[in-house]
């Protein structure tokens, strides 16, 4: 391997598995072990055991993944599944950890390779292993050709969540082409009652929870869009019939990759279930020269015996402690105001100062100027890509506005969309070759813009230079980093012959590298991942950004559904939720300011309403609710989330409870969406409290409780519950329980 290739491989591993304390390079791990005689490897974390081994054919075979086994339990040596018939050979029905396409394999492979002579057969055999204090590394090789695969397994001790990844290295004398590369295949034993849960959506309707039986055949969840996408998210959960919110087994996992991806779930001929997650093989062809290697993304997988609620709480904790910037104690999200809905593109110094003064008066901590501050940007038709201050709107630059915002006690932030360009821009007129395109073919525009080819070294260096200059010359604490269209014509004409399709990987690698370098040069900078809403939310981008924009749909009722789905996979502390105007711009629904606040206070609170239209009583209510949020912020953002009553499937009510890690505070949010026929409203039984601790109850806002004491034990609140009486449509209430 050349020095350059070694450096690139190291960078890939850092970006995909080591930034911000991601578990592959984190300091707190479960200790791995190996039974050398049986060649069985085992990782044990909190409540979980994962085991695999080398069978008699030298294949890496899955053995066990579930509730923790005793340290004294010894697993037998793995044995390939016997041939069922000439149509189901062992290679197709044995649960492999990382199957290569070869030797008769007909199920989904983790790796598929084409050689220059046309051979597409790959049979991977165990070569060696290494146990470190925090990982198991297994090396494999093709049966006859010098294709080497290194698998890394690392389990987080406190959650039992396993991070898996693979590196493929070409040690042959010629090129090889990777047609498919996954991070991992995970296997579950035969059962006939597995159910698959996953998240789908569209713009304005992200994170819709879907559940279906796993039956013979395949379910493919994917993005082909060059970005994570609104349409599907790279998270799955597999449960059994009878598993509920707080009981029953759940296996879950998420892929840390912000480009095109695929998760393939299938049941084989004998009923075995496997999920394979990695780069999307659609239009994928990655050539490796001799000595070169390619790292997969990282697949993060966990198990809970405590239902979907237990699974999501584990995953939230893992993200806070291992993934997010600042882990294991990410900074609490500041309350921000964004001026987009107030001004759209018509920004200027006087108008922004006026909004900043109003925002500061209600307790906002971060003021963000959205689109329109740069270039010839008076609409979405021009200026994108020219990251210089518009001097017609800001004759004195941004410095006076930033100074005033800071004097008001707020941080300053800006909206940017660095990966895009308008054809009507100075950048495009100078560098029309910098966009993703097929030479001589039309260039499809969406939102009047094209996608810059960030895989190119000159594009990367340009973006680093202009953004670094912007940050160095201004006191900017925050960037809202947007990405407003999917890819089209995914070509890279300047690439070497046969290497254009490296675009799918090289683009995302350079995106990660750009974000990491900006953060290194500007350590106090925080970044939000935004992509027309929730179009780029995944564990890869989360390692480099502090929060995510959940959806462009800010209607508070719709957001309850979106936030419920989001919380199955991702931590509420990074979920931005704004209070905007009513009627809502998207669906014209009218809700009270209180309802809008309480919906948003379940995540990281932001305000995007036009403060110029607020009445005196609106400012008073907002100031009170912002102060209330600051008092509960740590519990909401860092606590354990319990989805007490789900809004899924059109339920009339919904309710969540956040419980502080130390159990000393809990926050209950309750919503009535449609009150009719004077239907009785059952009491809400709380969860996760300390049963022996006394808690005092205080209403944040909304209806008072009925027939409920003001002080009672955690056992009482969990057993007897709280009666919350709400009347009418779109009503809400919230309560704080403070433990003595």
Burial bucket for residue 544 (CB in 10 Å: 0-12, 13-18, 19+): buried
Looking at the structure, do residues 551 and 412 belong to the same domain, yes or no?
A: yes
Q: Using alpha carbons, list the distances in angstroms from residue 140 to 46, 123, 147, 673.
A: 29, 10, 9, 56
How many residues are present in the chain?
740
Annotated binding site for substrate: 203, 370-371, 447, 480-484, 530, 552
| Residue 124: closest CA among 142, 112, 107 | 142
Among 599, 620, 637, give the residue marking a domain's end: 637
First-to-last alpha carbon distance for the chain, in angstroms, is 61
Q: What is the pLDDT of residue 13?
A: 37
pLDDT at 12: 37
Q: Say whether both 296 and 393 belong to one domain.
A: no
pLDDT single digits (tens) 124-136: 999 999 998 779 9
Same domain, 308 and 342: no
pTM of the model: 0.94
Q: Are 210 and 564 in contact (CB under 8 A)?
A: no
Any domain includes 497: no
Do residues 300 and 359 share a domain? no
CATH of the domain at 570: 3.20.20.70
Give tens-digit pLDDT for 49-108. 999 999 999 999 999 999 999 999 999 999 999 998 888 899 999 999 999 999 999 999
Query: Hey, what are 731's tokens?
Result: 């009503």
Which phi and psi angles does 53 have, rounded to 5°?
-155, 180
> Would you say the C-alpha torsion 328, 331, 332, 338 has a positive or negative sign?
negative
Q: CA 145, CA 111: separation in Å to the nearest integer?
A: 14
| Residue 162 and residue 70 share a domain | yes
CA angle 19, 207, 155 (to 5 degrees): 35
The answer to whether residue 16 sits within a structural domain is no
Number of folded domains in the chain?
A: 3
Give the Å distances, CA to CA, from 275 to 97, 214, 249, 271, 454: 10, 11, 17, 13, 31
pLDDT at 17 over 70: no
Q: Which domain holds residue 680?
A: 644-739
Range name among 158-162, 559-563, 682-686 with the lowest pLDDT average: 682-686
Q: Are residues 404 and 476 in the same domain?
A: yes
In a domain, 621, yes or no: yes
d(C-alpha 510, C-alpha 455), whole Å: 6
Average pLDDT (310-329) is 97
Contact call for residues 490 and 436 (beta carbons, < 8 A): yes
d(CA 67, CA 164): 19
Question: Rounded to an integer, what distance in angstroms lies between the CA atom of residue 22 and that of residue 539?
Answer: 9
Domain end call among 637, 669, 703? 637
Out of 552, 555, 558, 581, pick the active-site residue.
552
C-alpha torsion sign, points 625, 626, 631, 636: positive
Rounded to 5, what percent of the chain is helix, strand, coil?
25, 30, 45
> Does residue 687 sit in the same domain as residue 716?
yes
The C-alpha angle with vertex 690 and arms to 708 and 603, in degrees rounded to 5, equals 80
**Average of per-residue pLDDT across 505-524:** 98
**pLDDT at residue 134, as a whole number:** 77
Does the annotation count 552 as an active-site position? yes
Question: Do 182 and 101 touch, CB atoms closer than 8 A?
Answer: no
Is the pLDDT confidence value at 505 over 70?
yes
Q: Are residues 81 and 228 in the same domain?
A: yes
Alpha-carbon gap, residue 98 to 185, rounded angstroms: 6
Share of the chain above pLDDT 70, in %: 94
Does residue 407 lie in a domain region? yes
Tokens found for residue 133: 């204090």
Q: In 3D, which of 550, 558, 498 has the Cα closest to residue 529? A: 550
146 or 682, higher pLDDT: 146
pLDDT at 683: 87
* CA–CA gap between residue 54 and residue 61 (Å, rounded): 6
Q: What is the mean pLDDT of residues 712-738?
A: 93
Higher pLDDT, 215 or 677: 215
SS3 of residue 541 by DSSP: helix
Mean per-residue pLDDT, 589-612: 97
Residue 491 lies in a domain: no
Two tokens, residue 12: 């890939």
530 falls within a domain: yes
- From residue 593, alpha-carbon distances to 344, 513, 584 in Å are 22, 41, 11
Among 581, 613, 637, where does a domain finish? 637
C-alpha angle 704-653-247 in degrees, rounded to nearest 5: 110
- pLDDT one-digit tens code per residue, 434-461: 999 999 999 999 999 999 999 999 999 9
Amino acid 3: pLDDT:
32
Q: What angle do CA 650, 656, 661 make, to 5 degrees?
A: 155
**Both 366 and 242 in a single domain?**
no
Give 403's contacts (C-beta < 8 A, 6+ positions apart).
Answer: none
The CA radius of gyration of the chain, in Å to the nearest whole number, is 26
Q: Give yes or no for a contact between 575 and 563, defined as CB atoms under 8 angstroms apart.
A: yes
Residue 618 shares a structural domain with residue 655: no
- Residue 590 clears pLDDT 50, i.e. is over it: yes
- Residues annotated as binding site? 203, 370-371, 447, 480-484, 530, 552
Residue 158 pLDDT: 95
Candidates 156, 266, 482, 555; catalytic one: 482
Least reliable range by pLDDT among 41-45, 555-559, 583-587, 649-653? 649-653
Question: Pairing relation of β-strands 286-288 and 176-188?
Answer: antiparallel
Inside any domain, residue 604: yes
- Cβ neighbours of residue 143 closer than 8 Å, sequence gap 6 or more: 123, 124, 125
pLDDT for position 676:
62
Q: State the average pLDDT for the chain.
A: 93
Rounded average pLDDT over 514-537: 98
Q: How many CA atoms lie within 13 A of 264 on its CB side?
A: 19
* % pLDDT > 90, the chain: 89
441 domain residue, yes or no? no
Alpha carbon distance 41, 586 (integer Å): 53
Banded model confidence at residue 28, pLDDT cuts 50, 70, 90: very low
* Mean pLDDT confidence for 656-683: 88
**Which of these, 204, 340, 318, 210, lies nearest to 573 by C-alpha position?**
318
Interval 170-206: pLDDT, tens: 999 999 999 999 999 999 988 899 999 999 999 999 9
Three-state SS sequence of 174-194: CCEEEEEEEEEEEEECCCCCE
Q: 239: which strand partners?
A: 195, 250
pLDDT in tens, 216-252: 999 999 999 999 999 999 999 999 999 999 999 999 9
List residues bridging with 536 in a β-sheet. none
pLDDT (0 to 100) of residue 677 = 58
Q: What are phi and psi of 616, to 5 degrees?
A: -60, -40
Tell whether the model's pLDDT for residue 21 goes beyond 50.
no
In this structure, the strands spanning 60-67 and 48-54 are: antiparallel
Residue 650 has pLDDT above 80, yes or no: no
- Dihedral (CA of 544, 547, 553, 559) sign: positive
Find the CATH number of the domain harbouring 196: 2.70.98.60
708 in the same domain as 607: no
Q: Do 704 and 672 fall into the same domain?
A: yes
Most confident of 7-11, 610-614, 707-711: 610-614
- Is 709 within 8 Å of 722 (Cβ atoms)? no
Question: Is 73 noted as a catalytic residue in this protein?
Answer: no
Q: Looking at residue 648, which CATH number applies to its domain? A: 2.60.40.1180
């Amino acid at each position: 391997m050349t020095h350059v290739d070694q450096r690139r491989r190291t960078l890939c591993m850092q970006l995909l598995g080591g930034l911000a304390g991601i578990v592959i390079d984190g300091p707190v791990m479960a200790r791995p072990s190996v039974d050398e005689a049986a060649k069985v490897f085992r990782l044990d974390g909190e409540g979980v055991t994962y085991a695999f081994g080398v069978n008699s054919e030298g294949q890496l075979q899955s053995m066990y993944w579930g509730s923790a086994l005793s340290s004294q339990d010894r697993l037998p040596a793995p044995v390939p599944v016997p041939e069922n018939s000439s149509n189901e050979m062992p290679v197709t029905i044995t649960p492999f950890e990382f199957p290569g396409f070869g030797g008769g394999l007909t199920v989904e492979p983790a790796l598929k390779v084409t050689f220059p002579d046309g051979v597409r057969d790959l049979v991977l055999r165990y070569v060696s292993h290494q146990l470190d204090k925090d990982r198991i590394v297994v090396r494999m090789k093709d049966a006859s050709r010098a294709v080497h695969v290194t698998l890394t397994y690392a389990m987080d001790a406190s959650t039992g969540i396993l991070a898996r990844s693979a590196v493929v290295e070409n040690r042959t004398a010629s090129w090889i082409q990777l047609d498919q590369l996954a991070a991992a295949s995970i296997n579950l034993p035969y059962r006939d009652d597995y159910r698959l849960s996953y998240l789908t959506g569209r713009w304005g309707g992200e994170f819709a929870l879907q559940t279906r039986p796993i039956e013979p055949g395949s379910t493919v969840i994917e993005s082909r869009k060059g970005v994570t996408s609104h349409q599907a998210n790279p998270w799955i959960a597999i449960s059994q019939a009878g598993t509920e919110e707080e009981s029953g087994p759940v296996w879950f996992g998420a892929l840390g990759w912000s480009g095109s991806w695929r998760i393939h779930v299938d049941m084989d001929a004998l009923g075995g279930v496997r999920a394979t997650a990695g780069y999307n093989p659609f239009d994928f062809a990655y050539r490796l020269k001799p000595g070169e290697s390619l790292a997969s993304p990282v697949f993060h997988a966990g198990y809970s015996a405590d239902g979907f609620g237990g699974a999501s709480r584990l995953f939230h904790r893992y993200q806070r402690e291992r993934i997010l910037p600042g882990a294991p104690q990410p900074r609490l999200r500041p309350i921000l105001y964004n001026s987009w809905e107030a001004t759209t593109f018509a920004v200027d110094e006087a108008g922004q100062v006026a909004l900043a003064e109003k925002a500061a008066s209600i307790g906002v901590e971060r003021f963000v100027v959205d689109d329109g501050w740069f270039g010839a940007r008076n609409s979405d038709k021009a200026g994108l890509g020219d990251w210089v201050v518009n001097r017609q709107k800001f004759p004195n630059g941004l410095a006076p506005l930033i100074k005033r915002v800071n004097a008001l006690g707020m941080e300053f932030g800006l909206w940017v969309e660095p990966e895009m360009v308008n054809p009507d821009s100075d950048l495009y007129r100078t560098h029309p070759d910098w966009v993703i395109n097929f030479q001589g073919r039309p260039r499809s525009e969406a939102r009047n813009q094209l996608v810059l080819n960030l895989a190119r070294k000159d594009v990367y260096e340009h973006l680093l230079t202009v953004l670094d200059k912007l940050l160095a010359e201004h006191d900017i604490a925050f960037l809202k980093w947007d990405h407003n269209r999917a890819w089209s014509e995914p070509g890279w004409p300047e690439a070497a012959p046969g290497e254009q399709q490296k675009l799918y990987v090289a683009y995302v690698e350079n995106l990660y590298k750009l974000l990491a370098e900006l953060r290194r040069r500007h350590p106090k900078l925080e970044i939000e991942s935004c992509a027309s809403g929730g179009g780029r939310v995944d564990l890869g981008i989360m390692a480099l950004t502090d929060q995510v924009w959940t959806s462009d749909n800010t209607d508070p009722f719709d957001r309850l559904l979106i936030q419920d789905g989001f919380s199955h996979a991702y931590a509420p502390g990074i979920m931005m939720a704004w209070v905007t105007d009513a009627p809502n711009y998207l669906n014209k629904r009218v809700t009270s300011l209180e309802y809008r606040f309480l919906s948003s206070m379940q995540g990281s609170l932001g305000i995007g309403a036009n403060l110029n239209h607020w009445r005196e009583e609106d400012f008073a209510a907002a100031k009170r609710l912002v102060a209330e949020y600051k008092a509960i912020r740590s519990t909401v953002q860092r606590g354990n989330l319990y989805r007490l009553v789900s809004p899924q499937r059109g339920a009339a009510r919904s309710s969540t409870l956040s419980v502080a890690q130390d159990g000393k505070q809990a926050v209950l949010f309750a919503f009535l969406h449609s009150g009719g026929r004077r239907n009785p409203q059952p009491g809400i039984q709380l969860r996760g409290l300390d049963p022996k601790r006394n808690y005092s109850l205080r209403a944040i806002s909304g209806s008072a409780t009925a027939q409920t004491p003001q002080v009672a034990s955690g056992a009482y609140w969990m057993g007897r519950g709280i009666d919350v009486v709400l009347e009418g449509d779109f009503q809400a209430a919230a309560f704080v329980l403070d433990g003595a």
